[in-house]
């Protein structure tokens, strides 16, 4: 099979007919100027070494060189062979808390934005692993099914916030159950759920859900966003802070004890985030030590470049053009083999 890798380069070939047109226009004007000195036969007798064919031959050779270089730039490729590439990695689902308490600013710029920044950096480091994204507050939702499309993962992550959920709360148990159902049926791949939350206003059976996930071979890791001292929760419009029923500002405090218990029950580890270090980098380094399974195979065609042949011929033609003079060779012109 033959193809050009950069086929758009071939449009440059249209320049060659234009150059030929310009050359013949120049030659036509040159002949008209010669006629000003007399008839063509008389003028040529005054220039015995003049050759009308050699300049045309040299120009034609240069145009062939230009055409060959254009073909070389277009990267002609011939033949193909199927190559199978195996990829190994883990499956990881990130469950991100998007409740209002994640807007607290004890981690700058706030808990949620700092977590999203860290997740984005983590995705940039991934190569062969599958990733999925679950968001949760009072309920859990699949934001992105498990995939290797890291560009889509970043796009869905950027559009995540408290406004995409209708029910407030911190339903970690529901997030774990949804994550367990979201993995593929590949039994060999290591499966991990990473919960990023402040753990506040904990609801449901998170410990039991983590225990059940561990029994199915799924590890639960948790990252606590925030500080035990806590922080006020800004309103989404930026005008004031969230208040309780009595009108007092609400201070959101991270619940490290609960997040640590969930990690222990899930057979994983608990990490505490800060403004400078969310903990995902340390977590990912540890996850890379897990057993990796062959998550998929890629089969693609591999082509062999042929541009070297075009360049070689072009170099030979350039040498020929340099050795070819515009005027006749005086010694060769006097040589008469059949006199």
Summarised one tens digit per residue, pLDDT across range 122-148 is: 898 888 889 999 999 989 999 999 998
239 and 116 within one domain: yes
166 and 64 within one domain: no
Which CATH number goes with the domain that contains 162?
3.40.50.410
In a domain, 8, yes or no: no
The b-or-e profile of 175-187 (16+ CB within 10 A means b, else e) is: bbbbbbebbeeee
Residue 146's pLDDT is 92
Q: Are 112 and 102 in contact (CB under 8 A)?
A: yes
* Domain extent for 53: 15-76+306-333
Q: Is 140 exposed, middle or buried (0-12, 13-18, 19+ CB in 10 A)?
A: buried
69 and 96 within one domain: no
Handedness of CA 194, 200, 204, 206 (dihedral sign): positive
217 and 148 within one domain: yes
Summarised one tens digit per residue, pLDDT across range 156-192 is: 999 888 888 878 888 899 999 999 999 988 767 789 9
137 and 31 within one domain: no
Average pLDDT of the chain, as a whole number? 84
In a domain, 94, yes or no: yes
Summarised one tens digit per residue, pLDDT across range 183-224 is: 988 767 789 999 999 987 666 689 999 999 999 999 999 999
Higher-scoring residue by pLDDT: 43, 91: 91
166 and 123 within one domain: yes
146 and 71 within one domain: no
In a domain, 81, yes or no: no
Summarised one tens digit per residue, pLDDT across range 238-274 is: 788 888 788 888 888 899 999 999 999 999 999 988 7
Distance between alpha carbon 26 and the CA centroid of its chain, in Å? 50
The verdict on pTM exceeding 0.75 is: no
237 and 97 within one domain: yes
168 and 32 within one domain: no
179 and 291 within one domain: yes
In a domain, 282, yes or no: yes
CB atoms < 10 A from the CB of 24, how many? 12
Matching residue, tokens 């029950």:
265
Domain count, the chain: 2
272 and 205 within one domain: yes
Residue 335's pLDDT is 45
Q: Are 285 and 126 in contact (CB under 8 A)?
A: no
Say what percent of the chain tops pLDDT 70: 83
Q: What is the mean pLDDT of residues 309-335?
A: 76
In a domain, 4, yes or no: no
Summarised one tens digit per residue, pLDDT across range 285-316 is: 888 777 676 666 566 666 778 888 999 999 99
272 and 188 within one domain: yes
In a domain, 231, yes or no: yes
Beta strands at 231-232 and 251-252: parallel, antiparallel or unpaired? antiparallel
């Amino acid at each position: 099979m033959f193809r050009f890798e950069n086929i758009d380069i071939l449009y440059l070939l249209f320049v060659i007919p234009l150059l030929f047109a310009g050359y013949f226009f120049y030659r036509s004007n040159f002949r008209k100027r010669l006629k000003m000195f007399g008839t063509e036969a008389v003028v040529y007798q005054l220039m015995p070494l003049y050759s009308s064919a050699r300049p045309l031959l040299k120009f034609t050779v240069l145009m062939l060189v230009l055409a060959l270089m254009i073909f070389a730039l277009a990267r002609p490729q011939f033949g193909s062979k199927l190559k199978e590439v195996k990829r190994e990695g883990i499956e990881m689902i990130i469950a991100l808390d998007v409740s209002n308490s994640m807007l607290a600013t004890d981690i700058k710029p706030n808990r949620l934005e700092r977590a999203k920044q860290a997740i984005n950096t983590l995705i940039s480091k991934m190569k062969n692993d599958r990733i999925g994204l679950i968001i949760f507050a009072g309920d859990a939702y699949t934001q992105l099914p498990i995939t290797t499309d890291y560009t889509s993962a970043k796009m869905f992550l950027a559009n995540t916030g408290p406004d995409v959920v209708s029910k407030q709360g911190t339903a970690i148990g529901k997030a774990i159950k949804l994550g367990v159902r979201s993995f593929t049926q590949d039994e060999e791949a290591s499966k991990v759920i990473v919960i990023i939350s402040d753990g506040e206003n904990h609801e449901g059976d998170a410990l039991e859900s983590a225990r059940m996930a561990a029994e199915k071979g799924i590890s639960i890791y948790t990252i606590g966003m925030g500080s035990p001292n806590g922080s006020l929760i800004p309103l989404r419009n930026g005008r004031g802070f969230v208040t309780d029923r009595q009108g007092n500002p609400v201070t959101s405090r991270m619940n490290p004890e609960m997040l640590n218990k969930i990690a222990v029950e899930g057979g994983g580890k608990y990490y505490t985030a800060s403004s400078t270090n969310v903990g995902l980098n340390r977590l990912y380094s540890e996850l890379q030590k897990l057993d990796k399974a062959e998550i998929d195979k890629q089969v693609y065609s591999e082509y062999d470049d042929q541009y070297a042949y075009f360049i070689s011929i072009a170099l030979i033609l350039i040498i020929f053009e340099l050795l070819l003079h515009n005027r006749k060779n005086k010694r060769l012109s006097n040589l008469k083999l059949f006199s």
